[in-house]
Amino acid sequence: MSFSGNIKEELERVNVSSRHCRLAEMAAIYDFCGKRTEEKDGKMVISSENELAVRKYFTLLCKTFNMYKDYGETGSYDKRGAHYTLVIGDADESERIRSAIAVTSETMRSCCRRAYIRGAFLAAGSVSDPEKSYHMEIVCQDEERARFLAGLLGSFDIDAKITTRKKYHILYVKDGSQIVETLNVMGAHVALMDFENTRILKEMRNSVNRKVNCETANIDKTVTAAQRQIDDIKQLMESDRYRNLSPELRKMAELRISYPEATLKELGQLSDPVLGKSGVNHRLRKLSQMAQSDKEENYDKKGNHHPS
């Protein structure tokens, strides 16, 4: 099962005792799964390809209004698969339920806001596998519902954004820590731990990879510099200038040739007396400058001119 599927299974099992929280969760499922265009003669229709949302609405309906109605697969399919439908055929009962689940952000307690967010996600939400990316979204049928839901999330310091996709408004969160907070608000604590464990391992791997890449780049840089220094020293060895080197520069040239893979620090420790990195770098740079000067002199002796 997908990561989103596991979250919804957990949310479907969340049980609250307060009637006002049940009504808030029912309100969300109705807002995101209610088929108002199909509600003829006052009946209420809840329909979704997600059976968990319809089943949760049915459970809440039974507990809150002491009603027991049949629901099931309609038998009609579209390209997205089977739809599950719950119909309250009695117009008076339907109106009583609609009146009870009418909520506003001003009248909702903190626990009710949590319940509404839980119902909205159960009805129309998804979270990407955290191993691949951090992305949570809830598909809203219109901008009003998207902004209402964004306001509820904002009351928990969750900064949800809204975009459009075809005819829908999409509320989304991309920050990993804010997705974790959203899971906590909804009561998906098992999914929260799974998400956090994956996120920690992923960030550890990324940190290790960054360090390895950095160290590899430093090694490549050191090897390239060392090879250039060796080439310069070998060129000097073929000239009269090498015989006139000071003992300190000659010793450094011999060390670099003898230890081609050594770092500046290691060359300094091999020196007698021991040198710091800056001292080693100064002498190697001096050798390279002498090699460059020798190269230019040889170029001039052949009657050539330096490029301008």
DSSP letters of 55-108?
HHHHHHHHHHH-----EEEEEEEETTEEEEEEEE--HHHHHHHHHHT---TTT-
pLDDT at residue 71, as a whole number: 41
pLDDT-based confidence at 241, cuts 50/70/90?
confident
pLDDT at residue 27, as a whole number: 93
In tens, the pLDDT along 285-306 reads 888 888 888 777 776 666 554 5
pLDDT at residue 126, as a whole number: 95
pLDDT (average), residues 249-276 = 88
Q: Nearest Cα to 55, choosing from 93, 29, 77, 74?
A: 29
181 vs 219, which has greater pLDDT? Answer: 181
Q: What is the mean pLDDT of the chain?
A: 85
pLDDT at residue 293, as a whole number: 83
- The pTM of the full predicted model, rounded to 2 decimals, is 0.67
pLDDT at residue 300, as a whole number: 63
**Token pair belonging to 86:** 């719950």
Domain edges within the chain? 3-187, 203-301
**Token pair belonging to 223:** 């090897």
pLDDT at residue 79, as a whole number: 30
pLDDT (average), residues 144-169 = 94
275 vs 266: CA distance, rounded Å: 9
What topology does CATH give the domain 3-187? Answer: Endonuclease I-creI (3.10.28)
Output the CA torsion sign for 92, 93, 99, 102. Answer: negative
Q: In the chain, what percentage of residues exceed pLDDT 70? A: 91
Backbone φ and ψ of 26, nearest 5° = -65, -40
Does the pLDDT at position 201 exceed 60?
yes
94 vs 76, which has greater pLDDT? Answer: 94
